[in-house]
Chains A and B, each alone.
Chain A
Amino acid sequence: MRANYQVNSGVRFQMLSDDQLEELFESVLHVLEYTGLEVHHEESLQILKDAGAWVDGKRVRLPSYMVRRALELAPRSFTIYARDGNPEHDIHIGPGRSHFGPGPTCPNFIDVETMERRPYVKSDVPLVAKVVDALPNIDFCESLGTVDDVHHDLGATYEFAGMFPNTSKPIVAWSYDKYDSEEIHKIAVAEAGGQEAFERRPNYIHYCEPLSPLVSTEDALDKLIFAANHRVPLIFTPCPIAGGTAPVTAAGIIIQAAAESWMGLTIAQTLQPGLPFFMGGVLSVMDMSNMILAYGAPELSLFMAGITELAHYVGLPLWQTGGCTDSKALDEQAAIEGSLSAYFSALTGGDLCHDVGYTESAMTGSVFQLAMMDEAIGYARRITRGIEVNEDTLAVDVIHNVGPNGHYLREQHTRNHYKTEFFYPNLCDRRNYEEWEMMGKQTMSDRVVSRVQDILATHEPSPVKPETEKVIEEVLASAEKRVK
């Protein structure tokens, strides 16, 4: 028996001390109580007022006890379920677990045949979902684009209808307003077997965004209230830009973003105590030469790590960001920026890391970037899994048995562990020069492209129930009527 023995089973990463986190936490409460936010939503104003908020016109200040209570109510651990019951596709949210997936709504897409950038269209949706379904290190699905070739108000509905049958990994669904939120929900509930069954085993997450600085908008809150009333796990994620729509300093942007998220948290927990809630979001810098929000900046990783630590300090899961790039091509820049942010995100244990596969600063979605990042995430996951120390892994006996001048190739110990101890690359090449030459001197991007094409040609996601297929058709037909 070991006594008084501490185990670190993964790589430990902590940036901020408890004192610093407490200071950040108190600062968020201060902003919410003294500065307050604008809330552009009548019903929410009433909900907040009834719950004890100070409301002056649209300006809402939250006494800190309200926020503490909301934080208390929100769960740290819960499960989002695969629609088909495949336990491998369930997502268990909880301490020390990070998950990855693409981002939403880019206007453009890298065509999988021509490799050219063009507007994102409806037929891209099932294709992205299939690739997500097949990639081992991608855990949830978003579509990487805004469908351009349907009625513009129906983009989100068509997107969900296209993703849902093509992956059983949980989907993170955005929407324009409560109407498409409702359409999406109908499809998910049909597959779950009714509202009550859905509440027990939610199979998707709803995503909405406040406006930085310090505004909760009408559409965002319409969607939030829809999700809360139907007990759909919720992401409320701002997208502040340091030096533009948020303070230029890391600590400053983190507390502003948290304040924006927690206004949503407070409304959601008042309406639906215990609703699974992720705080957000995308925190990065304004590039002061090119005037863009930089998705490949090191500060993105740093800000995201800081807000992840704050979220975990208060017992909330976080909507992380990584695997994205400002590059326009599948090139070295894309690999560096994407891999480093994915790795950093994995280190933080940030709960759902999105925007994997974003290129050109969120303007263009790419399944190639996504597939390349799948490899980087696998690599990162092997590192963060860490070193296991026990009698077996210490291998003292094995060392003794093999002794000087021996080898380990035939050892049972090797046979027992080589599959789990080592990471096996899908894309990185470790052949010797001659073999590499013989295989056509393929580069990383060549291999990424063939992997994606191979998945598209061979992967069969598990189908939805026949009833759900019918519901999807009905939902799309009635959505078309809605916008006529």
Chain B
Amino acid sequence: MNETLEKLSTCILEGDSEAAPGLVQQALDDGVVPKTILDEGMVVGMNEVGDRFRRGDMFVPEVLMSADAMQSGLEILRPELVSSGVKLIGKVVLGTVQGDLHDIGKNLVGMMCEGAGFEVIDLGFNQKPEAFIDAVKEHQPDLVGMSALLTTTMRAMGHTIKSLEEAGLREQVKVMVGGAPVDQAFADRIGADGYGSNAVAGSDLAKRLVGAG
């Protein structure tokens, strides 16, 4: 493995946002192709972060530092990936549904998805189905993620999926749902493509749904 890529993967693992862009640039200058920089440098680091977190060896703030480092590196790498015709992992439109104000879980899912390399468009909380529709039209995401913490607002996730269908947009996105009272059976019932029991399961699911997991 290229020494710079190794440094880059360590730098992601250590959550060093300042060093990441420079290492990406150095790898590009070394002539490493953008996709290799992503797959064999950054993603390797981020996968290790995931493993350590699952084992209980890393904590949320450290994982988020790594996610930040990932994003700061991607700022340099993203245009190169695009111009070399590589499809980016994907874009997620994320929000807490109508009537629901709980947002810290949703924020965590968003940051974990960023850590996995996704571009995340966070709509905030208490978002009507129309807000999701407008965002899908505007941003053309691969995924729509919805969070609900109340048994009363879980229904709004179903309504939002219906609205996506009615707007003829359902086919072009995958839908994932989560939040404390949500479970797989509920996700199946409302026709979501997947359910994440926590933020890491959410970003793993997002990867799987776009065929990158």
Which residues in A have some Cβ–Cβ distance to B below 8 Å? 107, 119, 146, 148, 152-153, 155, 176, 211, 217, 241, 243-245, 286, 288-291, 363
Tell me, yes or no, whether B199 is within 8 Å of chain A by CB.
yes
Interface of A is mostly: loop
Tell me, yes or no, whether B198 is within 8 Å of chain A by CB.
yes
Q: Are A241 and B104 in contact (CB under 8 A)?
A: yes
Residues of A close to B105: CB separation below 8 A: 291
Q: Are A148 and B56 in contact (CB under 8 A)?
A: no
Tell me, yes or no, whether B101 is within 8 Å of chain A by CB.
yes
> In B95-123, which residues have CB < 8 Å from any A CB?
101, 104-105, 108
Q: Are A289 and B56 in contact (CB under 8 A)?
A: yes
Residues of A close to B180: CB separation below 8 A: 107, 363
Interface 1/0 per residue, B184-213 and A, CB below 8 Å: 000000000000001100000000000000
Distance in Å from the Cβ of B82 to the closest Cβ of chain A? 33
Residues of A close to B155: CB separation below 8 A: 152
CA distance A107 to B153 in the complex (A): 12
Distance in Å from the Cβ of B155 to the closest Cβ of chain A? 7
Distance in Å from the Cβ of A269 to the closest Cβ of chain B? 25
Q: Give me 23 A-to-B residue pairs in the complex whose CB atoms sit less than 8 angstroms apart, sorted by A's number.
A: A107-B151, A107-B180, A107-B181, A119-B151, A146-B152, A152-B151, A152-B152, A152-B155, A153-B152, A155-B152, A176-B152, A211-B101, A241-B104, A243-B60, A244-B104, A286-B60, A288-B60, A288-B61, A289-B56, A289-B59, A289-B60, A291-B198, A363-B180
Distance in Å from the Cβ of A22 to the closest Cβ of chain B? 31
Residues of A close to B108: CB separation below 8 A: 291
Residues of B close to A148: CB separation below 8 A: 151
Q: Are A291 and B60 in contact (CB under 8 A)?
A: yes
List 15 extra interface pairs beyond A107-B151, A217-B101, CB under 8 A. A107-B181, A119-B151, A146-B152, A148-B151, A211-B101, A243-B60, A245-B104, A286-B104, A288-B60, A288-B61, A289-B53, A289-B59, A289-B60, A291-B105, A291-B198
Cβ-neighbour of B59 out of A146, A288, A363 (below 8 A): A288
Residues of A close to B59: CB separation below 8 A: 288-289
* Interface Cβ pair total, 8 Å cutoff: 37
**From A107, A146, A241, residue with most partner B Cβ within 10 Å:** A107
Distance in Å from the Cβ of A149 to the closest Cβ of chain B? 11
CA distance A153 to B152 in the complex (A): 8
Q: Which residue of B lies closest to A287 (CB)?
A: B60
CA distance A243 to B60 in the complex (A): 10
Q: Which residue of B lies closest to A213 (CB)?
A: B104
Q: Are B61 and A243 in contact (CB under 8 A)?
A: yes
Interface of B is mostly: helix
Q: Which residue of A lies closest to B104 (CB)?
A: A244
Residues of B close to A176: CB separation below 8 A: 152
Residues of A close to B151: CB separation below 8 A: 107, 119, 146, 148, 152
With A243-B61, A289-B60 known to touch, is A363 a contact of B181 (CB < 8 Å)?
yes
**From A244, A290, A291, A363, residue with most partner B Cβ within 10 Å:** A291
Residues of A close to B60: CB separation below 8 A: 243, 286, 288-289, 291
CA distance A289 to B58 in the complex (A): 8
Q: Which residue of B lies closest to A119 (CB)?
A: B151
CA distance A286 to B152 in the complex (A): 24
Interface 1/0 per residue, B43-85 and A, CB below 8 Å: 0000000000100100111000000000000000000000000
CA distance A146 to B152 in the complex (A): 9
Residues of A close to B56: CB separation below 8 A: 289
7 closest Cβ pairs, A-B complex: A288-B59, A152-B152, A288-B60, A244-B104, A107-B181, A107-B151, A245-B104
Residues of A close to B61: CB separation below 8 A: 243, 288
Q: Which residue of A lies closest to B152 (CB)?
A: A152
CA distance A153 to B156 in the complex (A): 13
Cβ-neighbour of B199 out of A155, A241, A291 (below 8 A): A291
Q: Which residue of B lies closest to A288 (CB)?
A: B59
Interface 1/0 per residue, B131-144 and A, CB below 8 Å: 00000000000000
Interface 1/0 per residue, B157-170 and A, CB below 8 Å: 00000000000000
CA distance A244 to B105 in the complex (A): 9
Q: Which residue of A lies closest to B151 (CB)?
A: A107
Q: Which residue of B lies closest to A153 (CB)?
A: B152
**From B104, B155, B199, residue with most partner A Cβ within 10 Å:** B104
Q: Which residue of A lies closest to B112 (CB)?
A: A291
Q: Which residue of A lies closest to B59 (CB)?
A: A288
CA distance A244 to B199 in the complex (A): 14
Q: Which residue of B lies closest to A151 (CB)?
A: B152
CA distance A288 to B200 in the complex (A): 12
Residues of A close to B199: CB separation below 8 A: 291
CA distance A288 to B151 in the complex (A): 25
Distance in Å from the Cβ of A163 to the closest Cβ of chain B? 19
Distance in Å from the Cβ of B13 to the closest Cβ of chain A? 17
CA distance A418 to B11 in the complex (A): 69
Distance in Å from the Cβ of B201 to the closest Cβ of chain A? 10
CA distance A155 to B151 in the complex (A): 11
CA distance A468 to B151 in the complex (A): 30
CA distance A363 to B105 in the complex (A): 15
Distance in Å from the Cβ of A292 to the closest Cβ of chain B? 8
Distance in Å from the Cβ of A278 to the closest Cβ of chain B? 21
CA distance A148 to B151 in the complex (A): 8
CA distance A289 to B61 in the complex (A): 10
CA distance A155 to B104 in the complex (A): 25
Residues of A close to B198: CB separation below 8 A: 290-291
CA distance A172 to B199 in the complex (A): 34
